[in-house]
Amino acid sequence: MSAPNIETIVSLAKRRGFVFPASEIYGGLGSSWDYGSLGVELANNIKQSWWRWLVYERDDIEGLDSSIIQNRLVWKYSGHETTFSDPLVDCRACKGRFRQDKLQDVKCPNEQNLCAGSGKECDLTEAREFNLMFRTTVGAVAAEDDESALAYLRPETAQGIFINFANVLNTSRRKLPFGIAQIGKSFRNEVTPGNFIFRTREFEQMEMEYFCRPEDAPRIHQEFIDGFQTWFQSIGISAENLKLYEQTKEELAHYAERTVDILYRFFPERTDENAQFDELMGIANRTDFDLKTHSKKPEDTEGKRINSDSTEDLSYFDEARKERFYPYVIEPAAGVNRTVLAVLMDAYTEKTNEKNETRVILKLKPELAPIKVAVLPLAKNKPEIVALAKQIKKDLQPAMRAVYDDTGGIGKLYARQDEIGTPFCVTIDHESLEDDAVTVRDRDTWEQGRVKISELKGYLQKRLS
Ligand code: GAP
């Protein structure tokens, strides 16, 4: 079982402190969200899992953290200034503004009137291109529209990697093939954001650019397509809720030779099976476009430099073959926020207890759970029990994220921890003072067992891994 729809997660996320609407006390800010105390832990755990899997467990990937605001020329030569736009249409009837290519997904704000027979039909303008990059100015400028100070908030982390290719190559003494990984915020002035954290204007990406010889690119591309499906399953997303989508020639970005998206079943409530799925990540073969376009040397067919501003040539010299060329790039690009949403949806289950009450259990992989263990005193008016519980929490904390909670009856406390995905609850009772043992309760089975306090840390560590 997974969540029946995104709304279920929106309500759980707000109730339990995963995600809140941003600027809520001022009426919110369209499709902006803040991560609460549990959400930030979950997102961090996802990012750490991704980083560990790519940067630590492999031997061919380096990390990077580049600036959000770069020289405007980066976005000129990447093509974003001219091509990073969506087709925009206005409706003269409802005054709404929509993406022409997503009209089937939007709800008319005037639907009520239409249904009531106001006679107002949709009346769309011609589409015009709307650039998605957020503009800003750098430094103390005299006028807001001073072109010389114009800069953008990055719409993807990828370009920061391409422009640092030579820096990383030279300092890490790498040889092809190798990759550079980066996690960070990106910004897009989306025309129609929505569906909770699925599409927002500020979001986080986990991107990796893998540089290789052109003839190796198709094979490596396929390896990452397979590898990422396995990674998503390793963090708890079930295979039946994942699907591949091969972009058509018409859909491919101008630089891409082949792109495969990994889709997740974000909309299980939709009757059309295909419409249930939407993009979780994209994996592109970007050819040699990026390193060439940011290099000073390449020339067009008329012998003119394609980049007259770059001071660097980002080609690669293969020592063994005595050959110079521009590496191909395989790019697995995932969204942190969409992964958080997919993980929450997939972990969502409901269970009925013996009193016939329905309980939510978030069956998160222990690795991702915001809290690994909750330590609960059975009698909070008994100072010896409280002191022992607090001591146990303190002893566990260096090894795992532990919390102490005495703000309710034990049934309530268990239910709260189940709902936020805490794999284990440890209960301290009167007997604990006699036998130096505690009760450990399993989130998924609700089974309980007695464990010696001296063995507790090792026992939990073993079960958490
Ligand atoms: N460098 C390639 C690139 O940026 P993309 O498909 O535009 O490719 C990669 O973005 C991933 O970033 C998407 O698959 C999605 O998970 C996430 N993403 C993109 N736009 C987003 C948005 N407005 N809100 C949330 N996540 C977004």
Tens of pLDDT, residues 267-282: 999 999 999 999 999 9
Residue the block writes with tokens 């284990």: 424
Q: What is the pLDDT of residues 140-157, one digit of tens each?
A: 877 777 888 999 999 999
pLDDT at 437: 98
Residue bearing the CA closest to ligand 1, atom 18: 335
* Mean pLDDT, range 51-77, rounded to an integer: 98
CA angle 412, 414, 419 (to 5 degrees): 95
CB 282 within 8 A of CB 259: yes
Prediction pTM value: 0.94
Tell me which of 156, 200, 210 to substitute to probe ligand 1's pocket, judged by most ligand atoms within 8 Å of the beta carbon: 156
- Burial annotation 209-234 (CB, 10 A radius, 16+ → b, else e): bbbbbeebbeebbeebbeebbebbee
Distance CA 46, CA 235 (A): 8
Q: pLDDT higher for 272 or 94? A: 272
Alpha-carbon span 55 to 62, nearest angstrom: 6
For the segment 43-57, the average pLDDT, to the nearest whole number, is 98
pLDDT for res 185: 98
Taking the C-alpha atoms of residue 204 and residue 350, their distance in angstroms, rounded to an integer, is: 30
Q: How far is the CA of 262 from the centre of ligand 1 (A)?
A: 12
- Confidence label for 112 from pLDDT (cuts 50, 70 and 90): low
Type of residue found at 145: D
Which helix (H) or strand (E) covers residue 347, if one does?
A: helix 336-347
Strand partners, 448: 441
> Which residues lie across from 130 on neighbouring strands?
86
pLDDT at 117: 52
Average pLDDT score over residue span 322-343: 98
N- to C-terminal Cα distance for the chain?
23
**pLDDT single digits (tens) 228-262:** 999 999 999 999 999 999 999 999 999 999 999 99
Cα 405 to its chain centre, rounded Å, is 30
Predicted confidence at residue 115, as pLDDT, reads 62
Please give the number of the atom of ligand 1 that sits closest to the Cα of 157: 1
CB 287 within 8 A of CB 255: yes
Gap between the Cα atoms of 431 and 388, Å rounded: 12
Instruction: Compute the average pLDDT of residues 13-29.
Output: 96
Query: 78 C-alpha vs ligand 1 centroid, how far in Å?
Result: 16
Q: Is residue 116 pLDDT above 60, yes or no?
A: no
| pLDDT for res 49 | 98
Helix axes 336-347, 6-16, angle to 10 degrees: 100
Tens-place pLDDT, residues 176-212: 999 999 999 999 999 999 999 999 999 999 999 999 9
Q: Ligand 1 center to residue 260 CA distance, Å?
A: 13
Confidence of residue 58 (pLDDT cuts 50, 70, 90): very high
Q: Please say whether the beta carbons of 180 and 51 come within 8 A.
A: no
Tell me whether residue 460 is exposed, middle or buried, using C-beta atoms within 10 angstroms of its C-beta: 0 to 12, 13 to 18, 19 or more.
buried
- With a cut of 60, say whether residue 114 has pLDDT above it: no
Tell me the pLDDT tens digit for each residue of 387-415: 999 999 999 999 999 999 999 999 999 99
Confidence of residue 118 (pLDDT cuts 50, 70, 90): low
User: What is the spatial distance between Cα 373 and Cα 456, in angstroms, rounded to a whole number?
Assistant: 11
Single-letter residue type at 275: A
| Ligand 1 pocket, residue 282 CB under 6 Å | yes
pLDDT at 123: 85
pLDDT at position 95, please? 80
Distance of CA 282 to the CA centre of its chain: 12
Cis omega (within 30 of 0) on the bond before 332?
no
Distance from Cα 11 to the centre of ligand 1, integer Å: 24
Separation of CA 194 and ligand 1 centre (Å): 14
Q: What are 370-387's pLDDT values in tens digits?
A: 999 999 999 989 999 999
Q: Within 13 A of 316's CA, how many CA atoms are on the CB side? A: 26
pLDDT in tens, 402-458: 999 999 999 999 999 999 999 999 999 999 999 999 999 999 999 999 999 999 999
Q: Which atom of ligand 1 is nearest to the CA of 207?
A: 1
Q: CA-CA distance, 45 to 340, in Å (whole number)?
A: 10
Q: Is it the case that residue 19 has pLDDT exceeding 60?
A: yes
